[in-house]
Structure 1
Amino acid sequence: MSTKAIFVATHPRACSTAFERVFMTCQDKLKCVHEPFGDAFYFGPERLSTRYGDDEKAREESGFANSTFRTVFERIEREGKEGKRLFIKDIIHYLVPPEGKLATIAPSLGGRSAKKGVGTNGETNGTNGATNGHTHGHHTASHLDETAAEPGNPTVVPAEILKQFHFTFLIRHPRYSIPSYYRCTIPPLDSVTGFYSFMPSEAGYDELRRVFDFLIREGQVGPAQAGKHGDLASGEVSITVIDADDLLDDPEGIVSAYCKEVGIDYTPDMLIWDTEEDHQRAREAFEKWRGFHDDAINSKSLKPRSAAHFYKKKKTRTVEAEDQEWKEKYGEEGARVIRECVQANLPDYEYLKSFAIQV
């Protein structure tokens, strides 16, 4: 069984922080690292995102204006020196150039020097779909030198570094994640999150699928699927995908199955975190992404959803009903943007869903 650092690769608004709280209860054996790569992705000199491209003040005030991908990995290495196994949860598109651009290795990780950020030099067919009435790149992008690319690698991280991690994957249907993310980018929540526009390129499904496929091609995960294999060969890691709605419906079944795949002993008390120490630890860990994690911070446990939810889930959820709900909450234009983004990301979700753990 692998003893590598666990890396839960996910996309925004997939209930991933609630999932992380489960493993934050394992203080005796795990050290959790919460979304470290956003520092370099959004704010540092190698930034991939254009979100703060024209806002030097915001980058400086973040405290991460000097963060590179190397400094993030160095922090992870320091966290590992406590002797506990690392449990890293992060948005995988933080390692992937947006808009389907071809990745090149970050300068700090061995690529050639760049003027302002990690280089990109080409296009793939992958995108996250919808526009919001104007181009995604409505902020000035970094102007970059070419850096070395690794064939087939969709990330800015050398494959040799990726091999240090035991990758697992967490997804949620875009009909839930996209409206949730949209809400974080409009008033009143935008003044808390600091995300003042919705960028469909941040949906994250395309990047997650491409990283997933790359890791399988490289033999870093698979070919065995979680729950469908006997003893794994030495060093082999199963394909382990969790759907957030399965997790919310059956926390004990899904978490225990996940633990089996990553070599952690499951205990029922992992689903409860209701001491002041638990809450303080969560507040400190999630502080830098204000407004995104309030539900997880205020939670006390992970329990199965109610019978009323199961009844609602069984009823056919029509596109028309969803569109009407989104119009009421976000207006005509908001509903249009959300629908386009949901539809654009649905094929990638359904592909990844086909690998999800069944219990």
Structure 2
Amino acid sequence: MGSIGSALPTQASNGLSPAAPPKRLLLLSVPRTASNLFLKVLNPGAQPALKTNAFSGYFFYPVLSTAALEGLTSKEAKDWTPQERQRYLGLCQESFDNLEGLSQEATKENKSIFTKEHVTWLIDPAMLFTLQTGSVRSETPMRINVSEEYGSSRTYTQPSILPDEYLRTWQFAFTIRHPALAWPSLYRAIKRAGEEGGFVDEDGARGASLSNMTFGWTRIMYDWCVAQPDVPTPPIIDAHDLIHTPEVALKFCEQTGLDKTCLQFEWSKDGKKKSDHWGDLDKNRPDRMDAHRQAANILLGTLEASTGLMKDRTPAHVDIEAEHAKWEVEFGKEMAGLIEKAVRNSMGDYEYLRAHRMQA
């Protein structure tokens, strides 16, 4: 722990003029890929050209929380009742409308909008249990209403609930982390949130964890962006590089037009914890405010207890077999096996994305 701010160059390293800030910047993450740490470093709330909310995004969090609380994460979407399906789509629409509301405010203030969302929150849930890393079907059965201002046509060449025409108005960015570090951390956090906060039961914790233990969706969305002639190539931030090579954050600012003077690599614990207000994200379940706060305290606990980047959190080399032995002790043989399978299944996508990552 401690400052590594001295490692940050004071001038742009490539000699290029900063890019103009995008009108919309969407950071898509997978849980436990240090995306909240990246937000801490990026400091979007202090970026003068950006408009965001108090949580730097998470507009689609009510979709996740409701799916978890109502047991939808433990079964395939084809087994949902019509009422569950309609409930899910209604929450997606509400989340989208809230995001668009902030976008309109940003336009009036001549600012760019910024949000961070977990990629699986935007994926058609009918596909979450049957990930295909090859071709994506052209139609998705779960869709929400998008304003005509984004065009009259609606095409779906990617697996999200949002049409291509809308997604092309965003500049994307992604976060990744070695699966053998991210996936056990994910299950550990969700399991603890269930045990201590009653957020999900064991089946829900397992279902929510396993459905997120993939970089397949990240890869599909990245490749989709690259294939679009009017969408900039998205930067990919690897947690290892963020922690060990902080110049990556500077390069991110150069590419996206953000203010590099707002970056922070150390911070003080001033008593203000985002997790304490996490329940404000989901107005649909006021009876679950405490559960939301407890879950957020668990998921954000390490970051909120820190005062800077911690290099020991992301080692240079990861031995999957050695890690598996630790998982057996902590989670039991069955779950350790499921985590190892997910890790090994994710390595191809992770290495592919890492090969395209932003480097300082």
**Pair 1:96 & 2:123 matched:** yes
Residue pair 2:22, 2:112 contacting (<8 A) in 1 also: yes
Corresponding position: 1:243 with 2:238:
yes
One-letter amino acid of the counterpart of residue 34, structure 2: C
Q: In the TM superposition, what are the counterparts of 1:51-90 in structure 2 within 5 Å? A: 51=74, 67-80=90-103, 81-82=105-106, 83=109, 84-90=111-117
Matched ranges for 1:267-346 at <5 A: 267=261, 270-274=264-268, 276=270, 279-280=272-273, 283-284=276-277, 288=292, 290=296, 291-300=298-307, 302-303=308-309, 305=311, 313=315, 317-346=318-347
Instruction: Give distance in 2, aligned partners of 1:3 and 1:193.
Output: 40
SS at match of 1:296: helix
Q: Of 11, 20, 25, which aligns to 2:30? A: 11
Task: Give the count of matched residue pairs.
Answer: 292
1:87 is paired with a residue of what secondary structure?
Answer: strand
TM-score normalised by length of structure 1: 0.70
Q: Name the TM-score, length of structure 2 as normaliser.
A: 0.70
Which residue number in structure 1 is paired with residue 50 of structure 2? 30
Structure 1: tracts of 5 or more residues without a match = 112-147, 222-236
Taking the aligned partners of 2:214 and 2:336, their CA distance within structure 1 comes to 19
Aligned equivalents of 2:241, 2:227: Cα separation in 1: 27
Pick closer, same or farther for the CA change 1:25–1:328 going to 2, 3 Å: same
2:144 aligns to what SS in structure 1?
helix
- Identical pairs, percent: 22
| Displacement after TM superposition at 1:99 (Å) | 2.0
Match of 2:63 in 1: 40
Residue 219 in 1 paired to residue 229 in 2? Answer: yes
Report the Cα distance in structure 1 between the residues aligned to 2:239 and 2:310, rounded to whole angstroms: 12
Does the CA-based 8 Å contact 2:46-2:262 persist in structure 1?
Answer: no
Are residues 190 and 209 of structure 1, via their aligned partners in 2, closer, same or farther at CA, if it must alter by over 3 Å?
farther
Q: CA separation of 1:304/1:181 partners in 2, compared to 1, >3 Å: closer, same or farther? A: closer
User: Which residue number in structure 1 is paired with residue 211 of structure 2?
Assistant: 201
Deviations 1:106-139 (A, max 9, x none): 443269xxxxxxxxxxxxxxxxxxxxxxxxxxxx
Distance 1:242 1:220, change over 3 A: farther
Closer, same or farther: CA 27–4 of 1 in aligned 2, 3 Å: closer
Which shifted more, 29-38 or 324-333?
Answer: 29-38
Conserved? CA contact 1:248–1:303, under 8 Å: yes
The Cα shift of 1:264 comes to 0.7
Deviation of the 1:269 alpha carbon? 5.1
Check conservation: 1:183, 1:189, Cα contact below 8 A.
Answer: no
Q: 1:293 to 1:67 in 2, by over 3 A?
A: farther
- Normalized per residue, which structure has more helix? 2
Q: Which residue is equivalent to 2:348? A: 347
> 2-side partners of 1:283 and 1:88: how far apart?
20
Shift of 1:157: 0.2
Check the 8 A contact 1:105/1:150 in 2, yes or no. Answer: no
Q: Distance in 2 between matches of 1:70 and 1:208?
A: 22
Correspondence for 1:356 = 357
- Structure 1 residue 157 corresponds to structure 2 residue 162: yes
Deviations 1:159-209 (A, max 9, x none): 111122110111111101110011123357543372333122222411111
Amino acid of the residue matched to residue 98 of structure 2?
Answer: R
Match of residue 108, structure 1, among 133, 144, 155: 144
Amino acid in the other structure paired with 1:159 = D
2:206 counterpart SS class: coil
Q: CA deviation at 1:48?
A: 12
Q: Which amino acid aligns with 1:191?
A: E
Shift of 1:76: 1.4
Which secondary structure does the structure 2 equivalent of 1:239 belong to?
coil
Structure 1 residue 256 displacement after superposition: 0.6
Q: Is the 8 A contact 1:42 1:49 kept in 2?
A: no
Post-superposition offset of 1:357: 1.1
- The letter for the 2-side match of 1:6 is L
Shift of 1:149: 8.1
Q: Select between 319-328 and 76-85 the one with higher mean Cα deviation.
A: 76-85
Instruction: State the 1:335 CA deviation.
Output: 1.4
User: What is the alpha-carbon root mean square deviation over aligned residues?
Assistant: 3.5
Secondary structure of residue in 2 paired with 1:108: coil
